[in-house]
Structure 1
Amino acid sequence: MQREFFGNSGFRSSDKTLVEDAKRPSRPIYRAIVLMLFATGLLGMHVCRLVQLQLVEGKQNRERAENNRVRLVPMPSNRGHIVDRQGKLLAANNLARSVYLWPKEQTPEQWKVTAEKLSPLLKIPAKEILEKLKQVNPQSYRPVRLRQSLPPEVFVPLAEQAGQLQGVEVRPEANRYYPEGSLAAHVLGYIGEATQADLKAHPEYPMGMIVGQMGIEASSNSKIAGVWGDRLIEVNAQNQELRLMGEKPPKPGEPVQLTIDLEMQKVAEEALGTRRGAVVALDVKTGGVLVLASHPTFDPNLFTRKISKDEWETLQDPENPFLNRALQGYPPGSTFKIVTSAAAMESGKFSPDSIVSTSSYITVGGIDFNEHSGGYGDIGFREALAFSSNTFFYQIGMSIGPEQISRWGNRLGIGKDTNLKLLGLGGGDYGQIPTPEEKEKIYKEPWYVGDTVTTAIGQGLVLVTPLEAAVMVSSIANGGNRVKPHLLTSMTGTPETQPVATGMKPGTVAAIKEGLVAVVTDGTGQGMNDGTIPLTGGKTGTSEVIGQKSHSLFVAFGPAEKPEIAIAVVVENGGFGSVAAAPIAKEVFQTYFGKSKKVNESVVITP
């Protein structure tokens, strides 16, 4: 039986509930109204945003959209190869990968975030990345090369994320490569990105242009570099190329051939080893440089990529690996007696047949100047050169005077008469043979008779570079002409490298040449006469260095009968010339003449 309950109002409870339910709107209608209001509001927001984008920021955003999908991609030109006189590669190119940033594809604020992401991948501080971007117009179509020649440990993780980083691209391109490492580094030089000064001096250079910074790479850059090209392309958001819109192909650089002989250069550097010094070899007829070695040295491959901190610190070594010691002045020691001999015979006071008495020492101004031994008795120029008699040349020097010695030193190639600009290496020193007037001007000191004595044997104030020493001995070897050293085969035989007559009489040349051959057959350089090379002529030298072991020097030409090459060697603190320097020259001769081929020749000395 159903029971009903009545309240005070007189209505039944169930009837009241029915009335209230009738007054409420139905739930489906309520939901529809809410959804309609929400949709209307959302649509209104979109309309407002579209109005802002189209009307307020329309032009800016249309430009941004267009720019984000169009790129002007630089096409670096391949640098021309550098080869030796036989066409063997000294500098070439290989395929590498570089990372580029497109400045306009992100705002400066966005690039700050991207730089933080790239920094650990590229192992470059974020600040350095942002500095690169600041160097260009933010709206530039051209990219900025951030790092080149990426190693695998950098390239692989970067390539995996590059597609997710807007405006970042890894691209393949040619990179400079030196197949022989540090060989002939002071000749070849090295490359690097154009500096701000380079870009200012050459407005045609694009950002990231690779230019020579030293050596032949720098002096022949206009020929080697070539001209960059461009590709105008359209890409999507994933950096994928959609279509080519235009292209200007790059123009590759031209090759450059050097007079350097790779095998001779290699032997010279290996023979020099870890010792400080230099080796120079010249063609005595043309002045072409066959060898120009200097140690310590460096590997130019380091500059084809980002240099590590440790590598950079190594290059700051106190022994200065960038110093080209072939163009550095050294006291020439007894090798300078070639100059004193020429000056004496050309002075009119001495002839090729002159005889001078030697002794264990001579006293000048109360100072004893010693001989190597107890003296050699009465000797001429041949014996004086062969046995390197000091007292012979002391007396010769005092008789002819310092001005005459300086004059003939210059004529034989010591000092500014040797044009370093023809080498195209930049820098370098000139030797010096001061006169009394020049000493007063340079050192603010008077000239003493003792200065003349020491000058005559290549000590005191005299300085000669290894290159100049090679020119000096070439002047004797070729019959009296001063050659003009150069490194480009294209310069050989041209008017600017034509040898210059020194004015030496044939008798003077013949007497000195005979004395230099006697050095090898009978004197201080007999180690050169072991049958492994044709007979040569040479002169040993040992120059004193205060507080240190003496420098070792040797100059030579060969073959003795019809000379073809001249060599000069300096080994710092190497001791006697016959001990350290001469063996290096012999190894270079052996390479030139066929690597230790046994020969036996009868020799007739001709002027």
Structure 2
Amino acid sequence: MATGLSFVTKSRFINAPLTQRSHRAIGLMGMTFLLIGSCGLRLAQLQLIEGPTHRERAEQNRVVLMPMPADRGNILDRSGALLAANRLARSIYLRPCEQSKASWVESAKRLAPILKIPAEEILEKLKQAGFRSALPVRISRDLSLNAFITLAEQATHFPGLEIRGEASRYYPNGNLAAHVLGYISEATEKDLKAHPDYSMGMLVGQMGIERLANSKLQGVWGGQLIEVDATGRQLNSLGLKPPISGQAIRLTLDSDLQKTAEKALANRRGAVAVLDVKTGAVLALASGPTFDPNLFTRRITKQEWQQLQSQENPFLNRALQGYPPGSTFKVVTAIAGIQSGKFSPDSTLMTYAAINLGGHLFHEHGQSQGVIGFRDALAFSSNTFFYQVGLAAGPEAIAQWGQKFGIGDLINVRLSGGSHGMIPTPAQKEKLFKEPWYGGDTVSMSIGQGLVQTTPLELAAIYAAIANGGWRVQPHLLADESQTASTRPKKMGINPGTLAVIRQGLKAVVAEGTARQLSDGSIPPTAGKTGTAEVLGQKDNALFAGFAPFNNPKIAVAVVVENGGFGAESAVPIAHQIYKTYFKTAKARR
């Protein structure tokens, strides 16, 4: 019995610890299975679900595309002469993975004075690419000869430095047509975000045709696939994708006329526009002061930038800038008056030394001409004649015809750096300026002053329509846009009798009036109108607009010289030079 009791007691003492161990074992086994299950699930996720992504990422880490720049397309004038081209230049590339970050800090300090680039800028480009990147980063374009010799001598001191020959943009005529051509620069961070297909260091247009036609000019960059190891060193070449050069762009510009316009303007503040009166093709578009786009094919020095900025807004395309047109606008008032039915082409009016309107005197241009018609009113630029025509026709009619001619947003060559003119109605004035319309506004509008503004390009288009029989042309710069639906001239509905008297008046301006310089016998008979527009607190702007030859018009010309004084003094001589060049080259072509 004692033995039995002893057995039972022993059994109890033995079973108790076994039960506790079992619970602990089960817990440990559960935790083990849980961990193993979690790892399995994670493994399944990595291999089955995210496997393709990781494989692609690993492949990208192993295979690198080395970009190869494409040659930018040439820009040509209407005859095929080069306006923008490419030439061989040397560029500096750095391969970030070849040095440590600390080593690059020292290398950048040594490179900075040679390349004339701040060390911080070099390091920033390396940082953007990543210091372990195997891809070379372009640091400098158009390397100078002195810098090339220095680096060639010290090449062993700069691991990862490479000098490559590649195409560089080149403008063979310097600043010729700079506002039309524009310039290029490396794609900004904003450009890269907007165009994921762009490679770092890609050159893109920033203004003018370079920007407008960038998608055609830039071509398609190629590249070389290379295999790299974990440190970024090149192991093998896996293939080559050749770059595709950009397309050539032909413009409507005539280089001879463009050169003449810019030489005659002489970098003064102002602009010249020359149009084909039948097609609207822009033959010349000059703006002053100007700039040399070659500056932007490389790094601009501080001195060069300061010199550029010392000019008054050299990037403003004044050919697309609104100016008060002065008396050159009287043709619009004349057409509005006759087309309104208030006047006929044969109507006459008494002119005065001044007219009184609401207690304000509005003076004549010079002395009263007595009783005259539209032809003589244009020939002698009578203000009081057009005051009366404008008041009778009304500001809405003048604004309507101004807009029909293209003043506002109808004339658009899609270039940056300018805007368009304006010719507000009374309702628009109240909306824009919170002021009522006064009779004096109509009087000022009638002679191209006050709120009226036209760009030189719009002014040329107005005179082109008068020259071609009343068809509004659409100015354009790309040759392949001529004679297309978007640029086809639009009939304006001007009566032939109205146009005839306007044309006779403009012919008389040249034969008898303020543009007599054009009748020196050096060119065929032409027609046009001078203008002098008041500028508050400054010398008047000088203007001229016209067309040639009179009997069979081919071109229309508009000239504005800021603070040039009388139109006959500053603007007409520029038009004269343009006509001489046009007729000389036209004769040579025959």
Match of 2:472 in 1: 482
313-322 or 383-392: bigger deviation: 313-322
Measure, in 2, the Cα distance between the counterparts of 1:592 and 1:301: 28
Indicate whether 1:547 and 2:537 are aligned. Answer: yes
Other-structure match for 1:4 = none
Whether the 8 Å CA contact 1:551–1:570 is kept in 2: the answer is yes
Q: Which residue of 2 aligns with 1:130?
A: 123
Q: CA deviation at 1:104?
A: 2.1
* Amino acid across the alignment from 1:297: T
Q: CA deviation at 1:117?
A: 2.3
Instruction: Tell which deviates more after alignment, 111-120 or 442-451.
Output: 111-120
The code of the aligned residue for 2:84 comes to A
1:241 and 1:516 map into 2 onto residues whose CA distance is 74
Correspondence 1:195 to 2:188: yes
Aligned to 1:361: 354
Structure 1 unaligned residues grouped into runs of 5+: 1-66, 599-607
Residue 508 of structure 1 and its aligned partner are, at CA, apart by 1.2
Q: Is the 8 A contact 2:515 2:528 kept in 1?
A: yes
C-alpha deviations, 1:307-360, integer Å up to 9, x for none? 000111123236100010001111100000010011001101111111111122
Q: Which letter does structure 2 place at the counterpart of 1:552? A: A
The alignment partner of 1:539 has SS state of strand
Write out per-residue CA displacement over residues 210-237 of structure 1, whole angstroms, 9 at most, x where no aligned residue.
Answer: 11111100110110111111235699xx
Q: How does 1:262-341 map to 2 (within 5 A)?
A: 262-317=255-310, 319-341=312-334
2:440 matched residue in structure 1:
450
> RMSD between aligned alpha carbons?
2.4
Greater shift, 430-439 or 106-115, is seen at 106-115
Aligned residue among 401, 408, 421 for 1:431? 421
Amino acid at match of 2:487: T
Residue identity in the other structure for 2:170: Y
SS at match of 1:496: coil
Bigger mean CA offset, 258-267 vs 153-162: 153-162
Q: In structure 2, the residue corresponding to 1:408 is in which secondary structure? A: helix
CA contact (8 A) 1:68 1:104 kept: no
Is it true that 1:175 corresponds to 2:165 in the alignment? no
The answer to whether residue 584 in structure 2 is matched with residue 591 in structure 1 is no
Deviations 1:47-72 (A, max 9, x none): xxxxxxxxxxxxxxxxxxxx999985
Cα distance, 1:189 vs structure 2: 0.2
> SS where residue 334 of structure 1 aligns?
helix
Partner Cα separation in structure 2 for residue 331 and residue 91 of structure 1 = 34
CA contact (8 A) 2:315 2:417 kept: no
Q: Tell me, what secondary structure is at the counterpart of 1:484?
A: coil
> Which of 240, 245, 256 is residue 249 of structure 2 equivalent to?
256
2:145 to 130, 149, 152: 152
1:510 aligns with 2:500: yes
Alignment of 1:491 with 2:484, yes or no, is: no
What is the total number of aligned residue pairs between the two structures? 528
- 2:159 aligned partner: 166
Instruction: Give the AA of the match of 1:582.
Output: V
Which of 373, 377, 386 is 1:380 aligned to? 373
Residues 300/193 of structure 1: CA separation in 2 closer, same or farther (3 Å cut): same
Paired amino acid for 2:526: T
1: distance between equivalents of 2:221 and 2:566?
54
- The 8 Å contact of residues 316 and 417 in structure 2, kept in 1 or not, is answered as no
Decide whether the 8 Å contact of 2:267 with 2:290 is kept in 1.
Answer: no
Instruction: Find the counterpart in structure 2 of residue 54 from structure 1.
Output: none
Question: Which deviations, in whole Å up to 9, do the C-alpha atoms of 1:364-411 show, x marking residues without a partner?
Answer: 111111112321111111110111111100111111111111100111
* Corresponding residue SS for 1:169: strand
Pair 1:220–1:315, CA change in 2 (3 A) = same
Shift of 1:241: 11
Matched letter for residue 520 of structure 2: D
Work out whether residues 525 and 550 of structure 2, in 8 Å CA contact, stay in contact via their aligned partners in 1: yes
Once the two structures are TM-superposed, the CA of residue 574 in structure 1 deviates from its matched residue by: 0.6
Q: Secondary structure at the match of 2:569?
A: coil
AA paired with 1:167?
G
Instruction: Find the partner of 1:570 among 560, 566, 581.
Output: 560
1:73 Cα deviation (Å)? Answer: 4.0
Separation in 2 of the partners of 1:163 and 1:246? 29
- TM-score, normalised to structure 1, is 0.84
Equivalent residue for 1:519, pick from 490, 509, 516: 509
| 1:77 aligned partner, one-letter code | A
**Whole-angstrom CA distance in 1 between matches of 2:330 and 2:74:** 42
Once residues 366 and 291 of structure 2 are traced to their aligned partners in structure 1, the CA distance between those partners, rounded to angstroms, is 43
1:533 and 2:523 matched: yes
Query: Residues 381, 183 of structure 1: CA spacing in aligned structure 2 closer, same or farther, 3 A cutoff?
Result: same
- 8 A contact 1:430–1:464 mirrored in 2: yes
Whether the aligned pair in 1 keeps the contact of 2:426 and 2:436 (CA below 8 Å) is: yes
Shift of 1:192: 0.4
Indicate the residue corresponding to 1:404 in structure 2: 397
C-alpha separation between the residues in 2 aligned to 1:452 and 1:152? Answer: 64
Whole-Å Cα distance in 1 between the matches of residues 167 and 267 of structure 2? 33
Residue pair 2:278, 2:554 contacting (<8 A) in 1 also: yes
2:90 matches 1:97: yes
CA contact (8 A) 2:289 2:311 kept: no
Shift of 1:135: 1.3
| 1:162-182 deviation line (CA, Å, top 9, x unaligned) | 244211111110100000000
Q: 1:385 aligns to what SS in structure 2?
A: helix
Quick one: distance in 2 between partners of 1:225 and 1:301?
17
Q: Distance in 1 between matches of 2:244 and 2:132?
A: 27
Distance of 1:181 and 1:354 partners within structure 2: 52
CA distance in 2, matches of 1:298, 1:355: 49
SS in 2 for 1:594: helix
CA distance in 2, matches of 1:138, 1:201: 25
SS of residue paired to 2:319 = helix
Instruction: State how far apart, in whole Å, the 1-side matches of 2:235 and 2:250 are.
Output: 42
| Aligned residue in 2 for 1:56 | none
Aligned to 1:5: none
Determine whether 1:391 maps to 2:384: yes
Q: Which residue of 1 aligns with 2:178?
A: 185
- The letter for the 2-side match of 1:411 is K
Q: CA deviation at 1:558?
A: 0.8
Counterpart in the other structure of 1:464:
454
Q: 1:115 is aligned with what amino acid?
A: A
**2:74, 2:134 → 1: CA distance?**
31
Whether contact under 8 Å (1:402, 1:435) holds in the other structure is: yes
Letter matched to residue 293 of structure 1: A
Code of the residue aligned with 2:357 in structure 1: it is V
2:211 pairs with one of 211, 218, 222: 218
Distance in 2 between residues matched to 1:424 and 1:88, nearest whole Å:
23
Cα offset, 1:433, TM superposition: 1.4
CA distance in 2, matches of 1:301, 1:398: 52
Q: Is the 8 A contact 1:163 1:169 kept in 2?
A: no
Distance 2:504 2:436 in 1: 37
Q: Give the share of equivalent positions with the same residue, in percent.
A: 60
CA contact (8 A) 1:354 1:380 kept: yes
What's the offset of the Cα at 1:595?
6.1
Partner of 1:206 in structure 2?
199
Whole-Å separation in 2 of the counterparts to 1:105 and 1:285: 62
Deviation track 1:530-563 (CA, whole Å, cap 9, x = no partner) reads: 1111111100000011111110000010110111
Distance in 2 between residues matched to 1:389 and 1:377, nearest whole Å: 10
